[in-house]
Structure 1
């Protein structure tokens, strides 16, 4: 028995190390899946430390809670201490997020261990190497962070939970709710499932959840806002004022199409594996489907919103595929090769799907990399003293500190009421305040004389270039109204 336990521990340790080896290096890769990971979480955390940062409309309207930025402030501060100048403040929180994501791998192991050692190995291996779980792992977004809490909570709350497991599971679910309240229906299904056979389980679960709610309320009060006022404001802005609809509205079938796009033809064996695995983890499948169904009712849709569902479906599929190993082993000749064949198939499909399309590579691996390269060049320029973004959306860029550091940052947009549609006049009037401009290549003729094009890179849906002039910068009064946060207030962005 001791040898068997030691062997299982070594298997789990090896799979955790594999997961870390695949995730931690990506924390240093300067891509962003979505601008929110910078402007909704890292920028507010940076501001909490007393620095200047970009303030978006979400924070001005108070629809974001301070809980996640407060948690991230420590890693941001540590990163800036180790590597000053923005890079460390970006990387260390991503390392923390990548470490947190390993909870999914460990949980998958124990879900499988309830069935057999083979199921444990397959489930944890798939969670360790599946491309979606790897690519999302280092990103400081609420969806992967909440998922890293919900999956271990599901483990704790199922299979005859003890009082202690119920308390911790309730706390984890509530913490996930505070991080990503849109997962509330999925969380509710999981909580109901844990109490279905014994409603008294709700008492310790509620106790653990109440502790987290009180802590979250204290965090809100410490920042001078009404506890959970952000939740009310978020619902008001997005439900009553359709603010999210401004970012695009798509059909209710969008997520079904998304699974087809992301998983390609592999969706066929995956669907079969999910069907096979349903009997091992029916509650996980129910949570995944409810989450997809709820988000399908919301007009604005993004694949990252249902990351929880993708993770749960993959775990269920992994459990189902482990059943195939039993079938192969029953044939005798296939016995030694059954586990390597199934594990190898998962690894091969995962690798192939990463490169399945140019859009996949661009959206999940290359987005933000060009902007980060231009930002690094600016920060390394000894003559750089002020930067203007010329008709270029700020949200394609890597945050204020990584972009311009202590140097002034200006935003010139045609929608700005002070510009009145005449960007040429605006840049001419403010040019003494900056000696570097980020603009599209086709804007070169609009820029003042003396600016020459330097490096260019893909930024957002197009290309952006650094334009530079010689000389110093003067803080002239005409430029003051065009500091980035003042312009964002006027634009309501």
Structure 2
């Protein structure tokens, strides 16, 4: 009997030891998983931040005027009380919320007495790059939750090597911020197989995106409808999420705009009225309805296109809502006459999901395909970032040097005239001194009396315009900035008024129309 009891006790002790070992192994496994996840997260964060900062400093070209005139120029005027506001800010179709973000940065620099022109130019872009890096990290872990680590890795690779994302994401464009917010909102959206989502978080981010750029609602409309359709408690979704968050966004946006416009201004309504109902956007060019299908989308997605098409065949059912959002966005923008590549940029992260699935499936040719994808994106990324259309930024460095003599009463005060298509260059945000500068204006015809498109009048007959504008030598500007294609046409005016070329700046290898390959600066002696 005693032997039996001893054996039972020994057996119990052995079982206790085994149980403790199992528990210790379980805990160590959890600790190991936590450690691995922490290491992975740190690596992805470090990679994204370093990559986007390099990205930021290797993009030294201009894209479209809005990256300055609808952000930094407005911010500079808000903080330093001098600058130029385009017609959009006089008619109330632009919101001050996005420029206020950069104005806050400018105000801090001004308060600390660090408001050098280089920091005013680069710090907003660095902040934009860090936000893009944060969105990159969230995007990687979203795909990792939806799929597996291998697919997440290849999707992240596709996303990071996209030439158009490289070209746009660090710019101070409303489209860049809209895309960053869209990518972040997607991380909290109730996608199929997504176990962690938050209606309030994703709707708040969508609301901010719409405040920054009202057209963000185009991208999110099918996604909002999908969420409503799939939600069990539809009434609660509308009354507790859609209506409160949407109303709060409109109220905050209206309050900010009322403060800076000095009157009640509903920017979203004005934006819709001028661009859609009055067709003001058509003034800046129009394209055929098929432009996005035949050119725009192919350029934006670039060498990723075959992988995107292959990925659509693999995951059509699984991610049909993302594909529907891409098709819907391209279709809606196709019906609008004025078209630009950047308008469809926010759907690019959606496309990368399909590209990653495609690359992960190509097991036999994966490395070859990845190398080809990297190289084919690297060439346009570096060329458009470092070479193409850089002259309009470089010329402002030359103009900025005139600030050193603008306060010298013993010398002729600089007076710079830009004889270029309107808004070709940034303005006071890249000079940061109250230098006398002027450019050819080109507001659209809003039905006002005596409407004049100054830029069009000039290019119709440059010599006549110059003679009428400057009948006396005393009224002439001290410096002229122009593209090389204009030089021959006004050479008589330049020689007759003792203008001497002092700088020749490369702009592009692909001159077109009134935009030349080089920019000349002439100084009156």
Instruction: Identify whether the pair has TM-score above 0.5, normalized to the shorter chain.
Output: yes
Question: 2:517 matched to 1:467?
Answer: no
Partner of 2:340: 302
Per-residue deviation, 1:403: 4.3
Q: Alpha carbon RMSD of aligned pairs, Å? A: 3.0
Q: Are 1:387 and 1:404, in contact at CA under 8 Å, matched by a contact in 2?
A: no
Q: Displacement of 1:56 after TM fit? A: 1.1
My pick for the range that moved more, 52-61 or 447-456, is 447-456
Answer whether contact 1:217 1:227 (CA < 8 A) is retained. yes
- Per-residue CA shift, 1:220-247, capped at 9, x if unaligned? 2222455552222222222232211111
Residue 72 of structure 2 aligns with which residue? Answer: 42
Q: Tell me which of 137, 148, 159 is aligned to 2:169.
A: 137
- What corresponds to 1:439 in structure 2? 482
Per the alignment, residue 274 of structure 1 pairs with 312
Stretches of structure 1 lacking an aligned partner (at least 5 in a row): 329-337, 471-493
Aligned residue number for residue 132 of structure 2:
101
CA distance in 2, matches of 1:8, 1:430: 72
What is the match of residue 27 of structure 1? 56
Q: Distance in 1 between matches of 2:317 and 2:32?
A: 30
Return the match for 1:378 from 399, 403, 419: 399
1:65 pairs with 95, 104, 117, which one?
95
TM-fit CA distance, 1:201: 3.1
User: CA deviation digits over 1:324-375, x for unaligned, max 9?
Assistant: 45xx5xxxxxxxxx8xx45x7345414313425xxx8765554552122222
Equivalent position to 1:188, from 208, 216, 221: 221
Q: Structure 2 length as normaliser, TM-score?
A: 0.77
Q: CA deviation at 1:63?
A: 0.9
Helix, strand or coil at the partner of 1:465: strand
Gap change, CA 1:103 and 1:226, over 3 Å in 2: farther
Q: In the alignment, which residue of structure 1 is the partner of 2:435?
A: 407
Matches within 5 A, 1:144-223: 144-159=176-191, 165-198=198-231, 199=234, 200-206=236-242, 207-223=244-260
Residue matched to 1:352: 376
| Cα distance in 1, alignment partners of residues 197 and 349 from structure 2 | 26
The number of residue pairs the alignment matches comes to 452
1:430-487 deviation digits (Å, cap 9, x = unpaired): 65564222134413431353321011224582132111235xxxxxxxxxxxxxxxxx
Q: Aligned in 2, Cα 1:147/1:349: closer, same or farther, shift over 3 Å?
A: same
Instruction: Give the aligned partner of residue 25 of structure 2.
Output: none
Whether 1:5 aligns to 2:73 is no
Residue 466 of structure 2 is matched in structure 1 by 423
TM-score of the pair, normalised by structure 1: 0.82
Aligned equivalent of 2:287: 250
Whole-Å separation in 1 of the counterparts to 2:371 and 2:239: 42
Alignment counterpart, residue 455 of structure 1, candidates 497, 503, 506: 503
- Alpha-carbon separation, structure 2, partners of 1:74 and 1:404: 16
* Aligned match of 2:43: 14
Unpaired stretches in structure 2, ≥5 consecutive residues: 1-29, 407-412, 441-453, 508-513
Distance 1:144 1:178 in 2: 14
After superposition, the Cα gap between the structure-2 partners of 1:123 and 1:416, relative to the gap in structure 1 and judged at 3 Å, is same
Question: In the alignment, which residue of structure 1 is the partner of 2:147?
Answer: 115
Q: 2: CA distance between counterparts of 1:169 and 1:227? A: 29
Moved more, 15-24 or 200-209: 200-209
Deviating more after overlay: 94-103 vs 265-274: 265-274
Deviations along 1:154-178, one digit per CA (max 9) or x if unpaired, are 2212158899821111111111111
Distance 1:163 1:204, change over 3 A: farther
Partner of 2:34: helix, strand, or coil?
A: helix
Residue 404 to residue 7, structure 1, CA distance change in 2 (3 Å)? closer
Change (3 A) 1:12 1:445: farther
Moved more, 73-82 or 279-288: 73-82
